[in-house]
Amino acid sequence: MQPILGLRIYLPSLHASHYASLFHSRKQHPVTLTPAADIRIKVPSNHLIVDLLGEQDAHLRLIEAAFPEVRIVARGNQVDIHGPDTAGEMVRTIFDELLILVQEGHGLDTDRVHRVIDLVRKDVPSPSGIFTEAVKVGRGRVVRPKTHGQKRYVDAIREHTLIFGVGPAGTGKTYLAMACAIEALLSGSVRRIILSRPAVEAGERLGFLPGDLAAKVDPYLRPLYDALYEMLGPDETSRLMERGTIEIAPLAYMRGRTLNDAFIVLDEAQNTSPEQMKMFLTRMGFNSKMVVTGDVTQVDLTDGRRSGLRIVGTVLQGLEGIEFVELRGDDVVRHRLVAAIVEAYERYEEQLRSAEAGASS
């Protein structure tokens, strides 16, 4: 190759210290490249891709909003994912889990897609397995857990003899316990279901109401009736109650009884005293299962009485066959605003505890 004659190249005159500073700057601020993911998901059929992406790609839009750094393109029966490696793999997992659900005939909606996204972000294994879990409550009807915490709760009820489900309102503590009770009854594991609640104010403020004691405490037991009606229907519920197969009674009626071959649920247990809690737990007989539910942040006891639910964990710690399951704000399955309210109260109470700890020190 011949040199080009007459061509001069002018370089700026730089001091050696300037070169050194440039080199130092390059060492301090290296150029880093984020690993990128290029992923292609192939969907077996046209109707599955429609169910997966949602009407007018509504489900796809939810995933795009959750991962704005990832580009998602759906063409025909395939979905192409391009973006940062970690986020791209999360999006792939979300689509894989949603595809499992639609392949097994489980419909998708906004709430379910949101929950799968949250579960994948929290690195919960097999989110689709949570939604495919079924508690059979008769006549082809099933109740399904909707969160990882609810799935752990159902598993604990099936595997242990005495279960405590503690958590805020809307986490499905009572509803899932009653669904498991109906499942156990229909499968023949137990011969009867006994549901109970403490009537905290029955001895004083309800005295002016008409009717006998059962009529006075009926408002406290109404949520249990509502859940039974929803799962079994009013006619079947009435039939089973008339036969004594299902019994709903205030906690005061439990004293002196031994409950064999029964699935026993104590609801609103935060309103029991330690003495009442001990009385209830010792009612358990042979071939029985007991579930105790409550929310320790909503205690209605007065006159400084302690909640039996608050201390029972310490008393029974380490005993075999007993399981404690704590449900949290992200297990709330009511309106999304309920979860936000629960979390706001938890932050407020944590601030109060921190302030009190600071004042005492």
pTM value is 0.76
Backbone angles phi, psi at 263, to 5 degrees: -105, 115
Among the candidates 86, 114, 131, a domain finishes at 131
Sign of the Cα torsion 230, 233, 237, 238 reads positive
The reply to whether 167 and 295 lie within a common domain is yes
pLDDT at 210: 55
pLDDT at 20: 45
Give me the half-sphere count of Cα atoms (radius 13 Å) on the Cβ side of residue 211.
Answer: 10
The CATH number given to whatever domain includes residue 288 is 3.40.50.300
Cα angle for residues 119, 125, 62 (degrees, 5° grid): 30
Per the domain annotation, does 28 fall within a domain? no
pLDDT at 343: 78
pLDDT tens for the chain, 361 residues long, are 454 444 444 444 444 444 444 344 444 444 444 567 789 999 988 889 999 999 999 999 999 999 999 999 999 889 999 999 899 999 999 999 999 999 988 889 998 999 899 999 988 888 888 888 889 998 778 998 988 999 999 999 999 999 999 998 889 999 999 999 999 999 999 999 999 988 765 344 445 555 555 566 667 778 888 889 999 998 999 999 999 999 988 888 888 999 999 999 999 999 999 999 999 999 999 999 999 999 998 888 877 778 999 999 999 988 999 999 999 888 887 766 776 787 788 788 888 888 877 777 6
Q: Could you tell me if 266 and 196 are in contact, meaning their C-beta atoms sit under 8 angstroms apart?
A: yes
The reply to whether 225 and 346 lie within a common domain is yes
The reply to whether 106 and 203 lie within a common domain is no
The reply to whether 140 and 124 lie within a common domain is no
pLDDT at 301: 81
> β-strands 162-166, 289-294: how paired?
parallel
Q: Domain of 68?
A: 36-131
The reply to whether 53 and 108 lie within a common domain is yes
Among the candidates 131, 150, 169, a domain finishes at 131
The reply to whether 248 and 330 lie within a common domain is yes
The CATH number given to whatever domain includes residue 89 is 3.30.1370.10
Per the domain annotation, does 24 fall within a domain? no
> β-strands 71-75, 78-84: how paired?
antiparallel
The reply to whether 127 and 140 lie within a common domain is no
pLDDT at 216: 61
pLDDT at 23: 41
The reply to whether 143 and 271 lie within a common domain is yes
Per the domain annotation, does 70 fall within a domain? yes
Among the candidates 131, 146, 163, a domain finishes at 131
Domains: count for the chain: 2
Per the domain annotation, does 43 fall within a domain? yes
Would you say how long the chain is, in residues?
Answer: 361
What 3 state SS string does the chain have?
CCCCCCCCCCCCCCCHHHHHHHHHHHHHCCCCCCCEEEEEEECCCHHHHHHHHCHHHHHHHHHHHHCCCCEEEEECCEEEEEEEHHHHHHHHHHHHHHHHHHHCCCCCCHHHHHHHHHHHHCCCCCHHHHHHCCEEEECCEEECCCCHHHHHHHHHHHHCCEEEEECCCCCCHHHHHHHHHHHHHHHCCCCEEEEEECCCCCCCCCCCCCCCHHHHHHHHHHHHHHHHHHHHCHHHHHHHHHCCCEEEEEHHHHCCCCECCEEEEECCHHHCCHHHHHHHHCCECCCCEEEEEECCCCCCCCCCCCCHHHHHHHHCCCCCCEEEEECCHHHCCCCHHHHHHHHHHHHHHHHHHHHHHHHHC
Question: What is the identity of the amino acid at 247?
Answer: E
The reply to whether 125 and 157 lie within a common domain is no
Write out the two tokens for 196: 């109970």
Per the domain annotation, does 4 fall within a domain? no
The reply to whether 139 and 123 lie within a common domain is no
| Spatial distance between the Cα atoms of 250 and 42, rounded to a whole number of angstroms | 56
User: b vs e for 98-118, b when ≥16 Cβ sit within 10 Å of the residue's Cβ?
Assistant: bbbbbeeeeebeeebbebbbe
| Spatial distance between the Cα atoms of 87 and 279, rounded to a whole number of angstroms | 53
Q: Could you tell me if 177 and 136 are in contact, meaning their C-beta atoms sit under 8 angstroms apart?
A: no
The reply to whether 88 and 221 lie within a common domain is no
Q: With 0-12 CB in 10 A as exposed, 13-18 as middle and 19+ as buried, what is 226?
A: exposed
Per the domain annotation, does 23 fall within a domain? no
The reply to whether 189 and 97 lie within a common domain is no
